[in-house]
Amino acid sequence: MPELRKDPIVERWVVIAGDRAARPHDFHENVVSSARANCPFCAGHEHETPGELFALRAAPDAPWRVRVVPNRYPALEPQAAWSATVEHASDATLFQTMPASGAHEVIIETPRHLGCSSDLTVAELNEVLHVYRARLHFHREQARFRHAMIFKNVGAAGGASIEHAHSQLMVTPVIPTLVAEELAACAAFQRTHGRCIFCDLVERERADGARLVADHDGFTVFAPFASRLPWECWILPRRHAADFDLLRDDELGRLAVALHDTLATLESVLEPVAYNLVLHTAPFDTSCNEHYHWHIEIIPRVTKTAGFEWGSGCYVNPLPPEVAAARLREVRGGLQARRALPTAKTR
Amino acid sequence: MPELRKDPIVERWVVIAGDRAARPHDFHENVVSSARANCPFCAGHEHETPGELFALRAAPDAPWRVRVVPNRYPALEPQAAWSATVEHASDATLFQTMPASGAHEVIIETPRHLGCSSDLTVAELNEVLHVYRARLHFHREQARFRHAMIFKNVGAAGGASIEHAHSQLMVTPVIPTLVAEELAACAAFQRTHGRCIFCDLVERERADGARLVADHDGFTVFAPFASRLPWECWILPRRHAADFDLLRDDELGRLAVALHDTLATLESVLEPVAYNLVLHTAPFDTSCNEHYHWHIEIIPRVTKTAGFEWGSGCYVNPLPPEVAAARLREVRGGLQARRALPTAKTR
């Protein structure tokens, strides 16, 4: 049974989620399977996943277009309880544990075996975003836990174990460390300046332009000033909003355009394609509606973190974000030009 | 010229250290070179490294046994100054930069082409630790910067680009985020309990025993309670001390025994061998001598971090540290039994 443990010294939560008899050979690097015949996420293989939690269909008996199932190897479980084997550790200040209760879901983005989200059409990606909103809303309404994070792992270097386009949802009984740090910084800025720091940031990036990748209808894409890794990109809504699950349909539609464009641009630069995508949205309580601002962080995985990063919590990034943004604008321009020209095939 | 940037929202420093014309193909994954003929760290190839900063020799004209040189691709440089091209960004609260001034040194642990530190003898490893102490002491005396961290990257998955056994030293003008968090937590514990939290931790781990890997003369090795990754091990001195560079010779000698034993144990479990080692010691100012406690963290890299870790700052670890410690004790027992038996070769 998984268990949440807090580091005795710093604010760092770890989900200890192992079979206690696990052997070293269980932890070899993930290998991305591209075997379509054995893909559990493809249409026709529904029996290979745990039972469906939610799905988008044109009609009740129509085939699914987006499908949500529990993760087969969950880090957090709705019914997690105290594990008798480790309970002894929780009686002291140094060793804090709590049951790893929450949810760990997989959002299968398409019934087709596509590896890149940019192979989805914008309309399909829009439906995926509708499912993000629905699942976040469901868990906020349940209010059993404290926070929900949606993320994507793409490519072997991104930690993906299955190639078929999918996202994951992790609902946690604690506010994750990085989100808590953002919340604290946002609240402090609001107290001092009376404004949302992310709103200021977007306007500064738009005005400066050096790190801008694209300025879409309602959404701004830029390489962040202190990018941790090469090609890091953030997507921020220009309308201040803390909760992703309160977005309107027309906003989701515009986000689908911006996200599709960003992923297509990154996927044509990265070789092999490997990245993590994270959706940061407000915790379930509504106390930060004024100062928090949901956003998407895309973190390509073309370099490895090493001892300095693990020891310091700081990063060495060999690619200035201004250089990354200039190259992404150039690649994006090329893609748009190609899209505008009918190809020999379609003529 | 490298530059330090602070994330506009959270306390996270990034060294932007790139050639501004860098191209995507510069950032492919590091490949560990095992080509002895081309190894710049082997004896006889001294001309292939930047000029020697320090070396251990039996006599001034004897061959070197441990050698320290500047990193050829430094993230921080002693003479770094404001870069004119980015200075515009530093005039505002959101975009804080400072010159990436500091030092980035390579400690070549042996003139022989050995990949594993455990292939060094204990006496050789003891000399490496003497060099750690000497370089840390040098930079503390200089007092130009704020903190120095020593780390090791081993194996491709550990981010190593050169196989030959080496460590690195990074001297920074800021206290690294994770060290600052440890310092704050230690100070808070000291205020509340009047004791060092690390001293308490060691005693708790020794008393409990479930996560203990080995209890050496003066040093305790254990799998930390909230291990981030499988096989994580910490080495703590039992004598309270904040500064590694104030260790006595006899303590260094005993640490060499404990470290050699720990690395040999881990290196026989990990396949392929890949880990990061980090030495956390006090900042250069002496204000935390009472509450901080230097230590070594060894972080094997057999699993990949993915979207959840990047987005949350939390970790999912599939191997409970109690299971890891039991297996490490078992492997260690086997190694000791084998060492006790003279082999056919040596008889």
- One-letter amino acid at A65 equals R
pLDDT at A312 over 50: yes
Domain extent at residue A241: 3-14+30-302+317-340
Q: Which chain A residues are closer than 8 Å to B8 by Cβ?
A: 197, 201, 224-226
Query: Rounded to a whole number, what is the distance in Å from the CA of B240 to chain A's nearest CA?
Result: 16
Query: Rounded to a whole number, what is the distance in Å from the CA of B186 to chain A's nearest CA?
Result: 7
- CB within 8 Å: A16 and B311: no
Q: Return the structure tokens found at B341.
A: 């038996």
Express each pLDDT in B55-100 by its tens digit.
999 999 999 999 999 998 888 888 765 554 444 444 467 898 888 8
Q: How large is the average pLDDT for residues B187-212?
A: 95
Q: A184 to chain B: nearest residue by CA? A: B10
Q: Is the ipTM of this complex over 0.90?
A: yes
Q: How large is the average pLDDT for residues B299-312?
A: 93
Q: B308 to chain A: nearest residue by CA? A: A151
In this prediction, residue A92 carries a pLDDT of 60
Q: Return the structure tokens found at A32.
A: 């991305």
Q: Return the structure tokens found at A189.
A: 């800025």
Q: In whole numbers, what is the pLDDT of chain B averaged over residues?
A: 89
- CB within 8 Å: B308 and A75: yes
Long-range contacts of A257-261 (CB under 8 A, 24+ apart): A257/A122, A257/A216, A257/A217, A258/A214, A258/A216, A258/A217, A258/A218, A258/A219, A258/A221, A259/A117, A259/A125, A259/A129, A259/A235, A259/A296, A260/A117, A260/A118, A260/A120, A260/A122, A260/A125, A261/A214, A261/A216, A261/A221, A261/A332
Q: Select the residue of B21, B151, B198 nearest A307 (Cβ to Cβ).
A: B151
What letter would DSSP give residue B107? E
pTM of the model: 0.92
Q: pLDDT: is A224 or A36 the higher one?
A: A224
Count of the separate structural domains present in chain A: 1
Which of the residues A312, A319, A322, A323 would you substitute to probe the B interface, choosing the one with the greatest number of B C-beta atoms within 10 Å?
Answer: A312
Residue A90 lies in a domain: yes
Residue A311 lies in a domain: no
- CB within 8 Å: A226 and B327: no
In this prediction, residue A80 carries a pLDDT of 65
**DSSP string of B258-295, one letter each residue:** HHHHHHHHHHHH-SS--EEEEEE---SSSTTTTT---E
Express each pLDDT in A231-264 by its tens digit.
999 999 999 999 999 999 999 999 999 999 999 9
Q: Select the residue of B27, B185, B197 nearest A318 (Cβ to Cβ).
A: B27
Residue A250 lies in a domain: yes
Q: B201 to chain A: nearest residue by CA? A: A94
Which of the residues B71, B304, B330 would you substitute to probe the A interface, choosing the one with the greatest number of A C-beta atoms within 10 Å?
Answer: B304
Q: Contact, B94 vs A197, CB < 8 A? A: yes
The CATH number given to whatever domain includes residue A216 is: 3.30.428.10
Q: How far apart are CA B89 and CA B70, in angstroms?
A: 29
Which of the residues B32, B295, B314 would you substitute to probe the A interface, choosing the one with the greatest number of A C-beta atoms within 10 Å?
Answer: B314
Q: A276 to chain B: nearest residue by CA? A: B307
Residue A345 lies in a domain: no
Express each pLDDT in B15-59 by its tens digit.
888 753 443 444 444 455 556 778 999 999 999 999 999 999 999
In this prediction, residue A85 carries a pLDDT of 44
- CB within 8 Å: A94 and B201: yes
In this prediction, residue B79 carries a pLDDT of 76
In this prediction, residue B78 carries a pLDDT of 83
First vs last C-alpha separation in chain B: 57
Q: pLDDT: is B22 or A64 the higher one?
A: A64
In this prediction, residue A32 carries a pLDDT of 56
Q: How large is the average pLDDT for residues B229-241?
A: 97
- One-letter amino acid at B341 equals L
Q: How large is the average pLDDT for residues B150-159?
A: 93
Residue A22 lies in a domain: no
pLDDT at A331 over 60: yes
pLDDT band at A90 (very low <50, low <70, confident <90, very high): very low
Phi-psi region of A306 (alpha: psi -120 to 50; beta: other; left: phi over 0): beta
Q: Contact, B21 vs B38, CB < 8 A? A: no
Express each pLDDT in B271-299 by its tens digit.
889 999 999 999 998 788 888 999 999 99
